[in-house]
């Protein structure tokens, strides 16, 4: 009798914790012809992912996953499922994003789809923009006013003194005047502090910038101090290197990520520099498609373009082959060609396998930003950030661009026609 009472009291206590009729978070099922749980795991044929709320509840082949009663089937089912992608080099710059705090949500939502979510990006890193405008956009997405990716940003980037690059000349003067060009170490540290205090997630340094005549360089002590201050606050530093001297200066400053390879440079990186970049754990975002895009704007003859693109591909190839860490990024927002198909083709040309490209989109950013416990893989308890592709990326890496659905934290933020 005493035992029975004890059991009864335990049951009552449980009932108090989980009252009958409590609303369960939305539970739904995504089925895949093939699921790629992670780049280092074999694909699962006829796979199932069960999503509850913002998390993955279970994932595996359909025989082994128990579907909870009442779970809803998704129109995104049918296709090739991967973890959500991160584009680690984008910009919210230009008329499409102006006045993001007040612009109609539908206008911004349309732009987010066109530039980002229709290509599978559940997460993006903005590496230079009008900081407060980007933060306003992020806040509206997080409040649920419109669907969009997770946005990380470096806010306002740092330039060399008197060193705004010529390729930003098309931007409004009012904006250019606000771009920091710190003259002293103290001023650089203050810019970093101001960005991070406002809500930025990292720092971007333009180490060397092309001018109408020649190059302007950020002084080594300023670059070092900005990087140190960013690290002290637990964040990472991106650098725009421009050329091989810029790579060396970035490495010396202690940056974490090179935002481009050295476009337009036909000479390979010196072996010692390549080794040092890799041994210091510096990641590279090759942005290979950007090279052809820039040269096309300048009406460069196709034969020259071919040679220069091949040189950029070769930089990426030698870096990856030597064990360097590649992060995926395209520079969209600066580049108006949003479709990343060519980037996937060129990464493949640089010797990256489909699974290495998937890593650059998923597990590598998760590791780099210390989020491997939360995202990057399709495993139970992870954030339900997922991409459904219409065709198998293992058959052709260009298929990473053929996105049917993008899911962020359990919500479909993009669905192709017929999948809504
Ligand atoms: Zn950029």
Angle at 131 between CA 125 and CA 133, to 5 degrees: 105
Q: What percent of the chain has pLDDT over 90?
A: 93
Q: What is the pLDDT of residues 238-256, one digit of tens each?
A: 999 999 999 999 999 999 9
Please report the pLDDT score of residue 5 as a whole number: 47
User: pLDDT, tens digit, for every residue of 99-147?
Assistant: 999 999 999 999 999 999 999 999 999 999 999 999 999 999 999 999 9
pLDDT tens string 143-194: 999 999 999 999 999 999 999 999 999 889 999 999 999 999 999 999 999 9
Q: What is the pLDDT of residues 369-384, one digit of tens each?
A: 999 999 999 999 999 9
Ligand 1 mean position to 150 CA, how many Å? 18
What is the per-residue pLDDT for 92? 98
> Rounded to the nearest 10 degrees, how much is the dihedral formed by the CA atoms of 84, 90, 95, 98?
80
Residue 138: which of 160, 156, 123, 118 has the closest Cα? 123
Whole-angstrom distance, CA of residue 273 vs CA of residue 207: 16
Q: Cα of 243 to ligand 1 centre, how many Å?
A: 15
Residues near 72 by beta carbon (within 8 Å), at least 6 away in sequence: 26, 27, 28, 29
Which pLDDT band, with edges at 50, 70 and 90, does 24 fall under? Answer: confident
First CA to last CA distance, the chain? 57
Distance 120 CA to ligand 1 centre (A): 19
Give the Å distance between the CA of 127 and the centre of ligand 1: 6
Q: How far is the CA of 382 from the centre of ligand 1 (A)?
A: 30
Q: What is the 3-state secondary structure (H, E, C) of 203-229?
A: EEEECEEECCCCEEECCHHHHHHHHHH
pLDDT category at 15 given cuts 50, 70, 90 is very low
| CA 403 – ligand 1 centroid, Å | 23
Distance CA 151, CA 135 (A): 9
Task: Identify whether the C-beta of residue 266 lies closer than 8 Å to the C-beta of residue 311.
Answer: yes
Distance from the alpha carbon of residue 263 to the mean position of ligand 1, in angstroms: 13
Yes or no: say if 77 and 30 are a contact pair by the CB < 8 Å rule.
yes
262 alpha carbon to ligand 1 midpoint, in Å?
13
Q: In this predicted structure, what is the pLDDT of residue 163?
A: 96
Look-up: residue for tokens 């992670």?
A: 38
Mean pLDDT value of segment 33-39: 98
Band the pLDDT of 18: cuts 50, 70, 90.
very low
Distance 333 CA to ligand 1 centre (A): 8
For 55-112, what is each residue's pLDDT tens digit? Answer: 999 999 999 999 999 999 999 999 999 999 999 999 999 999 999 999 999 999 999 9
Please give the pLDDT value at position 22: 57
How far is the centre of ligand 1, averaged over its atoms, from the C-alpha of 407 (Å)?
Answer: 25
CA distance 214 to 300: 20
Q: How remote is the CA of residue 157 from the centroid of ligand 1, in Å?
A: 11
In angstroms, what is the span from residue 9 Cα to ligand 1's centroid?
62
Residue 45 has pLDDT above 70, yes or no: yes
| pLDDT interval class at 11 (50, 70, 90) | very low
pLDDT for 232 equals: 98
Q: What's the chain's average pLDDT?
A: 94
pLDDT tens figures, 312-322: 999 999 999 99
Q: So what's the pLDDT on residue 23?
A: 63
Question: Ligand 1: distance of its center to the CA of 287 in Å?
Answer: 9
Ligand 1 center–CA 290 separation, angstroms = 9
Angstrom distance (rounded) from CA 314 to CA 305: 14
Q: Specify the higher pLDDT residue, 16 or 214.
A: 214
CA distances from 277 to 155, 206, 207, 269 (A): 25, 17, 16, 10
Q: 229 C-alpha to center of ligand 1: Å?
A: 22
Q: What pLDDT does 1 receive?
A: 44
Could you tell me the distance, in angstroms and rounded to a whole number, from the CA of residue 210 to the centre of ligand 1? 14
- For residue 22, the CA-to-ligand 1 centroid distance in Å is 47
The rounded distance, in Å, linking the Cα atoms of 137 and 109 is: 10
Between CA 381 and CA 339, with CA 42 as vertex, the angle to 5 degrees is 80
Distance 102 CA to ligand 1 centre (A): 25
pLDDT at site 6: 52
CA-wise closest residue to 251 among 271, 219, 279:
279
For residue 260, what are its two tokens?
């481009």
128 C-alpha to center of ligand 1: Å? 7
Phi, psi dihedral angles at 60 (to 5 degrees):
165, -165
Q: Other C-beta atoms within 10 Å of 214: how many?
A: 7
- Cβ atoms of residues 89 and 330 within 8 Å: yes
Contacts of residue 46, defined as CB under 8 A and 6 or more positions apart, other chains included, come to: 31, 32, 33, 61, 62
């Amino acid at each position: 009798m005493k035992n029975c009472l004890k059991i009864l009291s335990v049951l009552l206590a449980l009932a108090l914790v989980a009252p009958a009729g409590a609303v369960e978070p939305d539970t739904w099922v995504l089925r895949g012809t093939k699921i790629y749980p992670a780049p280092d795991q074999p694909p699962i044929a006829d796979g199932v992912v069960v999503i509850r709320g913002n998390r993955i509840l279970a994932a595996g082949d359909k025989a082994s996953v128990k579907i909870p009663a009442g779970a809803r089937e998704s129109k995104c089912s049918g296709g090739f499922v991967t973890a959500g992608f991160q584009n680690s080099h984008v910009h919210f710059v230009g008329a499409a994003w102006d006045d993001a705090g007040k612009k109609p949500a539908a206008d911004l939502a349309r732009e987010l789809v066109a530039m980002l979510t229709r290509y599978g990006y559940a997460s993006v890193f903005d590496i230079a923009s009008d900081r407060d405008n980007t933060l306003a956009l992020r806040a509206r997405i997080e409040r649920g006013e419109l669907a969009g990716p997770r946005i990380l940003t470096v806010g306002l980037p740092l330039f060399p003194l008197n060193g705004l690059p010529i390729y930003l000349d098309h931007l409004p003067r009012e904006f250019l005047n606000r771009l920091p060009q710190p003259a002293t170490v103290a001023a650089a540290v203050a810019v970093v502090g101001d960005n991070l205090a406002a809500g930025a997630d990292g720092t971007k340094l333009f180490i060397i910038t092309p001018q109408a005549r020649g190059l302007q360089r950020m002084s080594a002590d300023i670059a070092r101090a900005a990087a140190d201050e960013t690290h002290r606050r637990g964040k990472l530093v991106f650098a725009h290197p421009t050329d091989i001297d810029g790579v060396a200066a970035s490495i010396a400053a202690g940056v974490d990520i090179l935002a481009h390879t050295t476009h337009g440079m036909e000479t390979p990186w010196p072996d010692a520099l390549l080794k040092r970049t890799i041994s210091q754990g510096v990641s590279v975002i090759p942005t290979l498609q950007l090279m052809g895009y820039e040269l096309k704007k300048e009406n460069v003859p196709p034969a020259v373009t071919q040679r220069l693109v091949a040189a950029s591909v070769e930089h990426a190839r030698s870096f990856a082959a030597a064990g360097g860490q590649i992060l995926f990024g395209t520079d969209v927002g600066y580049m108006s060609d949003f479709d990343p198909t060519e980037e996937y083709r060129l990464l493949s040309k640089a010797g990256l396998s489909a699974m290495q490209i998937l890593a650059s989109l998923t597990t590598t950013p998760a590791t780099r930003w210390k989020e491997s416990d939360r995202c990057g893989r399709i495993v139970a308890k992870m954030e339900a950030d997922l991409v459904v592709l219409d065709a198998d990326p293992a058959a052709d890496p260009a298929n990473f661009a053929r996105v049917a659905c993008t899911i962020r934290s359990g919500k479909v933020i993009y669905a192709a026609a017929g999948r809504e």
